[in-house]
Structure formats: structure tokens, C-alpha cells
Structure 1
């Protein structure tokens, strides 16, 4: 298949992408950002006892009838209970227990009086306010009851869910294994950042760009490597990567030049070629193949093309692999604040900045080989084929990054 529309390409990509089924158990803090592999059910009530929500005195509401600032009620203080302590006695009429927030309320009490409404007494306490039964009183299981499913399988864990799991007493969490992705770049003209740049060479930005974005998506990088412009070398790298990866991403060497080796690599591997070329700019010379069940998406070597493709094409694949619904693309209709004069021969994606209501296109170079002008951009504008230009005030289709 050649010259597919973006929607058709994504359909093919997802058809050959299989959701990760394997689960693993990780420590509580390591589970942040991961996807639950099973329902999480409470094994006990929380709180596990009736609990004081205030600093003050636990007592019987009946003993406080008619209490006012000018008509105090005096109770005998029989014990102090701090948070973490437990008093197994029973409070009788005319008695009170000095209590701190979070402490277990002793038997016989049905309210807690805030210390601000008392004289802070130690042996006896004068109380200036009447109370209703169960006022300022937290019941056992008020947060959740034993047997309640608190978090469903497929939930993405954030700091809130981590806190809930901690309150359940969970120290290790069953989560879906991360998507394993290899990033292989090719091009004898590129060098690794940190190396002394030689004449005729450029630094490889695609590798770092793709790796960083894949980590944003929660992927585990199985291999990050630059391979020489040699079909046999790249084929061997793909073979090795396929043994440990759910997805292989390559950049460069997908067009029709002398050094565009990926077509030959597919032939050497005996991989199934699914499509080549898309009706989109940048990223038109995209090649998709499957090697022994492992999908391999080969992207253009243009930096902006790689930046567009990672969100437009790779993101849905990672979403399916990880079952992470937060990775689903988010699109909005926004109002353009400035003009963009270039005509659109095919569907085009333009870097831009949005505040959620309006969208602005940077007035700088928009070449596919230029990445620097994407700094600060948080979206792409999708322009449809045949459009002769865009103008301020028009509605634009925006893909949030």
C-alpha cells in the first residue's frame, strides 16, 4: 500500500500492534504513572477504628445538654489518648477522654468536643458547648469498607491513586508491563551529541527526541543506537531488537536515494511490508513493516518530521500497547491569531502555540529540517489538502502535544 491517508495509516499501525498482556509487580512508588493490571480491593476498613477528627475531648453528648459559655459542664478527665495510642476502657457518664486528631475514640463516647470550646483542663474539663450525638466523630470504614473495589484494572496511577493504595496498606502493586521500544537511527552523516563535530557531519537530534518522547509515553527503551548506512548492519540490529521489543522505530533512509537502505533491510529480513508513503507533510516517506510479529515504523530523517510522527503515529501505538487511555490524542477547534501564507499541497502539520481557545503560528522558519522553531510549541495545526493559506480569525484543527 502506498500514499495512505493518515487515518488509514493509523488503522494499519494499530492492526499490527498487540496490547501488552504481561503484568509485573512493582513497589508502591515505582507504580506512579503505571497501569493497574488488576482490580484493587480493600482488605480492611479505613479508618480501622472510630477516629477523632479534632483535638479536644471525647465524651457522651448527653452529658453536654445545655452547655453554654456562661453555663459550663464539668467532666472528669480519665485518660489522654494521642494518635497511635489505644484505650480499651469504656467512658461512663460524667467522664471524658483528652484526645488528639486521628486517635481511636474509646467505647462509650459519641462525640468529640473541640478544645477551643473548653478550658483545656487536665484532671477535669469545663465544656462551653453542647453537642449532638456523632458530631465531630469519624466512623470506622468512613473512607472505605473492607471488600470495596477502590481502583479498577486499567487505571493509570497518579499521586492520588498512590495515596489510596498506601491507605489500603499496599506496598507492592500489580501493573501492566511497560511497552518495550527500540530506537535505531541511521545516517553516516550524523554524530552523537558530545562528540567533536567533523566537517560534513551534523548531530543526531532524532534519536534523543524520539527517546525522550517515548519516555513521556511511559515506554521502556530496549535499545538506542545509531547504525551505519549498511543494510546488513541495520538488518542485524533489527533482528536483535525484535527479540526484546514490542515496537521498533527507525529514522532516516526511507526515501529513494542511494543511501536509503530501509527498503533493502525489509527485503533482507523477509519482513512484511505494510505501507510506504503517507499523504502528510512532514513525514511523507514513512515505511511500515512487520518482522516476525514485531511492528517496525521507519520515519523520515527530517527532525520536524520525526517530531510530528511521534505524536501522530507512534503515540496511538503506545496507547494500544500499554492500554493507557490518557495517551489518546486530544484535538480542539481554536481560532487562529495570525496568517500562514503557505499553500497546502497535501495534508500538512504546522507547529503552533495554543492557550486552549486561540492558536498562534510562530513567524519563523517552518522547514522540515528545522527543529529550533518548535521550542515553546504545544500543539500542531492540521491543515487539509488543497488549502491555499490560513488567515487570522479562521477556525483551526489543533492536535495537542
Structure 2
């Protein structure tokens, strides 16, 4: 087990050689928000026939050349076509066909005249001329059979699902959603809704990380274990049966009750690293057992949140094969100062907007209320003095 490594080294150790989980086949109607795992090609032309974009008359441009209000052209109406009708008979020279929006155009026509430019009679009087191809929607105008309809990596939103439906596609292959187990620990933790005895606290890490995973579209389930190495090892063993990634909080530092140093060997897990050179969340630990990953985070709420963003998200991105799960970074200008030096690489909560970032009050790793309304982590490099307003900083968007 290595110790005291950089954030980048930690991510490399966790994700190096890690293969994504297999793609999942889903009915398209259930795939909103999912990411395509493979290209989708068009199985057909769309539209599948030449069609009218408006209500009017299908005709030949040559037959109405020179028409205007003072010199209308009169044409017999040979047929009426509605959306869904098949145009079986070709349009003969000197004829018009009454046609509705979306209807198949008859062979032989080369334009569609809006009904507002006629008297709508039979024969129909036409009051304006048109060039060929005017108001004419060609077969395959939207996309052609065999063309790339949606590339792999497309996030399936309403428009993408509409496109799939227009092509008659009912099933898609999507990137998997890793199932995450959350194990919180601590004898001091009481479940919300129960009386709070002296010396106890209500647990927040389970709710915090489960909600964050849900925001990322990742399913999870949560358990709590007391500060007993045997109990924690048993809980981990059971939870690993039902998840692709296990995230734990608490018990990873150097105190008497930091029991993961005993629990992981009891489980038989391979410990890969312990302690990452950042603050908060330095004691983060990573292990493997049975081909699955175990990421153990600090029990302090903001420390757990920070290291989840910096360490768990790259793991989730690798398991899902989805780069969108990686945190995005931006350059910003700090609008509020931070009065402490940063001997170690430090991450603060912040509110980023239009290239500027403001810091709230309260940056202790045990404080959670000041995280409300924040949308980024602000990075201060190791060895920097107190940060001043106007200083350029790197932010990691949440």
C-alpha cells in the first residue's frame, strides 16, 4: 500500500486498467438521460417519401408561370391527398392536386402552392407563380438510411428520443449505471427521526452522498455500521455482493476508532493507497476485493463530499465509460479573500458564475450548511499564501 500520493496519482491507481461495465440494452422510452454506448445509424430515410410542408396545391411550376391577381391561372383539381394517404396516380400536366400538410406528394409535381394564394375552388384559380422545388420536402431531407443518426456518447434528451422514434427505433444500447453501495460508520451516529442522546449526532453522509449520486444519475443503497472491525468487514462483504463500487465514510484516519485499518484485512481486501495530498479528506483510502473497488472517505461531511467529487467521480466515469461523470474545470477570478495559507493543496466550496467565484463563510471539513448554494470547488495549490480577491483560481464544477 502506498501513502501520501497526489490526487492525480490516486486517480491513476484507481482507474488504470479498469474496464467499463458492459453496456445495457434499454427500451428507448426508458432511456431519457442515459448515454449511448454505440453509434445509432438510420434504418430508413426520413421523411420516407416526398411530402408537403403546408396545406395547398401540388402542381407543376411551369403550369402557373406568370400567374398573379390580375392574371390568375385556373387548373382542374384531380385529387385530394391527406396526411397518411398514398399518392398512387401521377400528376398530369395542367392539373393540380389538393394536398394537406405532411401528405405524400404525387409523382410529377415539383412545388406546392399555399392555399392562401388560391380561391380554393375546382377548378382552382391560382394568383401567384412559384419556382420549381418551392415548398417541397424531399425524401431523406432530415436523414438518409445508413447515415449516422446519433453518435456514441450522446446524452439522450427529448430531441434525441424524438429522433429515435422518428426512425422507428425502439431499443438502444446505453452506458451502464454502476450500482454504488454506501457504508457509513460511527458509534456516534444516530439515524434521523430517532431521539438524539447526549454526545450523539444525526448522520448526514449517507443522505449527502446518495443524493449526489442521484444527481449524477447513479443508483445507490446505504447501510450503517458501528465502530467494530468485524461488523464493518461483514457489512462490506455483504454489500459488495450487490454493488459495483463500495464507498465508505469514517474510520480511515489514525484514531483508536479508525477501524478500517483492521476491517479491510479481515475482509481480505488489497489496500492500494492511503492518504492523498490534499485538504480536506487527506486520509482517503482505496482498496480492491473480489475485482471490485472500495473507496473509503473521511467521516467529516465536507471532506467526504470533496473527496467524493475528486476521487469517486473518476471511478464512476471509468466504470460507466462516461466522461461526462468527470468533474469539469474552469478558470475563475476570486471575488472574496481566503485568509489562511495553504501549505497543502486545498479545496474550498464556492459559488461560480460568469467567470467569477465567491466563497461562503465557514470552511471547516465538519461544516455542511455553508455548502448549500455552492456549485464548485475552488482549488488553491500547495504552498500558496492567503488568497486575495482578484486572484485567478481553478474551479471544479459540481
TM over 0.5: yes
Q: Which residue of 2 aligns with 1:290?
A: 288
Deviations 1:304-326 (A, max 9, x none): 11111121111111111111122
Q: Which residue of 1 aligns with 2:159?
A: 160
- Deviation for aligned residue 1:261: 1.1
Residue 71 and residue 243 in structure 1: after superposition, are their counterparts in 2 closer, same or farther (change >3 A)? same
Q: Distance in 1 between matches of 2:313 and 2:194?
A: 31
Q: Distance in 1 between matches of 2:65 and 2:104?
A: 24
- Deviation for aligned residue 1:49: 0.7
Task: Give the conservation status (yes or no) of the 8 Å contact 1:217–1:315.
Answer: no
Of 376, 380, 383, the residue aligned with 1:383 is 380
Taking structure 1 as the reference length, the TM-score comes to 0.95
Do structure 1's residue 55 and structure 2's residue 27 form an aligned pair?
A: no
Q: Which residue of 2 aligns with 1:70?
A: 70
Task: Give the conservation status (yes or no) of the 8 Å contact 2:277–2:344.
Answer: yes
- Deviation for aligned residue 1:35: 2.5
Residue 17 and residue 248 in structure 1: after superposition, are their counterparts in 2 closer, same or farther (change >3 A)? farther
Further displaced range: 195-204 or 131-140: 195-204
Deviations 1:169-202 (A, max 9, x none): 1112222332121111111221223333333222
Residue 128 and residue 197 in structure 1: after superposition, are their counterparts in 2 closer, same or farther (change >3 A)? farther
Q: Distance in 2 between matches of 1:36 and 1:385?
A: 39
RMSD: 1.6
Unaligned residue ranges in structure 1 (runs of 5+)? none
Do structure 1's residue 336 and structure 2's residue 334 form an aligned pair?
A: yes
Match runs of 1:314-333 below 5 Å: 314-333=312-331
Q: Distance in 1 between matches of 2:382 and 2:292?
A: 32
Q: Distance in 2 between matches of 1:212 and 1:328?
A: 17
Task: Give the conservation status (yes or no) of the 8 Å contact 2:297–2:308.
Answer: no
- Deviation for aligned residue 1:136: 0.9
Q: Distance in 2 between matches of 1:70 and 1:190?
A: 89
Match runs of 1:2-401 below 5 Å: 2-15=3-16, 17-20=18-21, 22-119=22-119, 121-221=120-220, 223-362=221-360, 364-401=361-398
What SS does structure 2 have at the residue aligned with 1:290?
A: strand
- Deviation for aligned residue 1:16: 6.0
- Deviation for aligned residue 1:17: 3.5
Q: Distance in 2 between matches of 1:31 and 1:352?
A: 33
Q: Distance in 1 between matches of 2:189 and 2:123?
A: 82
Deviations 1:213-253 (A, max 9, x none): 122223232x3111222211211221122223221100011
- Deviation for aligned residue 1:9: 1.1
- Deviation for aligned residue 1:29: 2.4
- Deviation for aligned residue 1:12: 1.1
Q: Distance in 2 between matches of 1:66 and 1:149?
A: 43
Q: Distance in 2 between matches of 1:198 and 1:111?
A: 81
What SS does structure 2 have at the residue aligned with 1:29?
A: helix
Task: Give the conservation status (yes or no) of the 8 Å contact 1:213–1:310.
Answer: no
Task: Give the conservation status (yes or no) of the 8 Å contact 1:156–1:324.
Answer: no
Q: Distance in 2 between matches of 1:227 and 1:127?
A: 82
Taking structure 2 as the reference length, the TM-score comes to 0.95
Deviations 1:366-385 (A, max 9, x none): 11111111111111110011
Aligned length: 397
What SS does structure 2 have at the residue aligned with 1:280?
A: coil
